[in-house]
Amino acid sequence: MKALKVKLYQETAVYRNPVTMEVIECFPLPPPSTVLGFLHNLIEARQTIPGIDLSIQGTYESLMRDYQWYKKKKVERGKSTAKNYPIVVNALNGVNLTIHIRADDKVLEKLHDASLSPPYFMHLGRAEDIVKFEELKFVKVEPKEVEEIKTPAYIPSDVAKRFELTGILYRLPTYYEFREISIGKETRKVREFKWKDFYYVEGGEVGEEIELLQDEDGDLIWW
């Protein structure tokens, strides 16, 4: 089995939890939907690319809390007003990500070539959180016996339960589809995400040896 392996570095990153408001909480790793958006932007895809599987793992050096001004608009009796108030934003510093991508060979080749010469300064999360490509290559994926998880990762809940791995349970957005809704006399297209359960597992010994997917560098893969 072949996969495209991408290692990325971000000096700062905010992977916002969409259900938080007054205090913007940050996921420890980018959700699948964020990475999928990044990949689609990389090859300037105009339509959703089906059949992409992702394995997302990585580390960060520290968590910073920042204050930002937020402008909230309100419309009453036909008049629009805006109010500024501070919010707390949690941001990650020194982020190192390892992403394995499984897809059609033509899609992988296109992603590989585009990564060598991105169309613009690529970002992951906020527009100001620029990414640096540290490594890019095709790898061979094989099952191997392992005793330890070395890198924090998002693990699909069914895989985590199968191997009795414990961590923080997240329901994360993955692919999205456009759906039309009516607002007054207008019709708009909105994104409707598909959600999937993942465990964020920080790592450690797994007890008995278990058979997991690995690349030739020894990095685990969670599909």
DSSP 55-101: EEEEE-SEEEEEEEEEEEEEEETTEEEEEEEEEEEEEEEEEEEEEEE
Amino acid 94: pLDDT: 97
Amino acid 49: pLDDT: 86
Return the domain boundaries, the chain.
2-73+84-215
Amino acid 157: pLDDT: 96
C-alpha to C-alpha distances, 220 to 3, 10, 58, 116, 142, nearest whole angstrom: 12, 21, 11, 24, 10
Q: What is the pLDDT along the chain (223 residues), one digit of tens a residue?
A: 899 999 999 999 999 988 777 788 999 999 999 999 999 999 998 888 888 999 999 999 999 988 877 777 776 676 777 778 788 889 999 999 999 999 999 999 999 999 998 888 999 999 999 999 999 999 999 999 988 899 999 999 999 999 989 999 999 999 877 677 777 777 777 777 889 999 999 988 776 778 999 999 999 999 8
Amino acid 135: pLDDT: 96
**Which residues, listed in sequence order, are joined to residue 24 by a DSSP beta bridge?**
89
Calculated CA dihedral for residues 128, 133, 134, 136, nearest 10 degrees = 160
The C-alpha atoms of residue 146 and residue 144 are separated, in whole angstroms, by 6
Amino acid 172: pLDDT: 95
56 Cβ contact list (under 8 Å, min separation 6): 29, 30, 32, 35, 97, 99, 153, 154, 222
The C-alpha atoms of residue 220 and residue 223 are separated, in whole angstroms, by 10
Q: What fold does the segment set 2-73+84-215 form as a domain?
A: Alpha-Beta Plaits (3.30.70)
Residues composing the chain: 223
Amino acid 188: pLDDT: 73
Tokens of 73: 């608009």
Q: Is the pTM of this model over 0.85?
A: yes
